[in-house]
Amino acid sequence: MLTEERHRKIIDWLERDGLVKSQDLIQWLDSSESTVRRDLQELEDLGILERVHGGAKRPQHLEQELAMFEKSSKNVQQKKLIAKYASDYINDGDVIYLDAGTTTSEMIPFLKNRAVTIVTNSVGLAAHLVEAQIATIVLGGRIKLTTDAVVGSQALEQLKQYRFNKAFMGMNGVHIDSGYSTPDPEEAILKRAAIQQSEQAFVLVDHSKFNQTSFVSVASLSAASILTDTCPLVIHDQITEQTTLKEVSV
């Protein structure tokens, strides 16, 4: 296998999983240990990955956040499955907070013809909810252009007036020590408030968000239940047993 092809495969695996083990790469690439070690060193020199004991991980850029259109193209199938599973927790008559995000947006098709009221801080999600004829309240305030999220003190004061049966949240990072986190301080404040205003809170994340830490802490892991796609190593080894963790078969 050519060097460029090996590098592309390593990068793809990192994008998908966030972490790769050297022994797995040796097997997957059908290459020697020295070749894999050299590949990882070259990619680290380029700033594409960080070498860790026994493998490599994606570099941590705590304040970096992808735009919505970039996020929407990643792990699409996993997001749809997580969204479908999340919708099973909804009962007719529920008042729900739907956080801005690409995974939460995948819930909308499963909410059609449901007798629910949705409060959201996303103008994009609000538009799709209205198209689906779902009763919707959108928070007012400044719109963050990269994530389509409404943020700021006006949105926060409005949010504090409401109580929710359930909140479905997006997050950028889920870590056993730092809990839930996101890059933007204003979004973190709204996320934290929505969780506090809800009888039940669910964090919708695919496996790539595990062992990641963003700039601002939102809440501890115990503050919400995690709905994710199947990732047994993360479930058993790297997430506390006190956290409710649900699996969706992919």
Q: Is the pTM of this model over 0.85?
A: no
pLDDT at 233 over 80: no
Nearest 5°: the CA angle 13, 247, 192 is 90
* Span 112-139, pLDDT tens digits: 989 999 999 999 999 999 999 999 999 9
**Residues sharing a CB contact under 8 Å with residue 18, sequence separation 6 or more, in sequence order:** 57, 58, 207, 208, 210, 211, 212
- Both tokens of 16, joined, read 């998908």
Q: Can you tell me the mean pLDDT for 195-221?
A: 90
235 pLDDT higher than 50: no
In a 13 Å sphere around the CA of 210, the CA atoms on its Cβ side amount to 21
pLDDT in tens, 4-56: 888 888 887 877 777 889 999 999 899 999 999 999 998 888 767 788 888 98
The model's confidence at residue 60, banded by pLDDT at 50, 70 and 90, is low
Whether 160 and 138 have beta carbons less than 8 Å apart is answered as no
Q: pLDDT tens digits for 65-119?
A: 544 444 444 567 888 999 999 999 999 999 999 999 989 999 999 999 899 999 9
Type of residue numbered 134: I
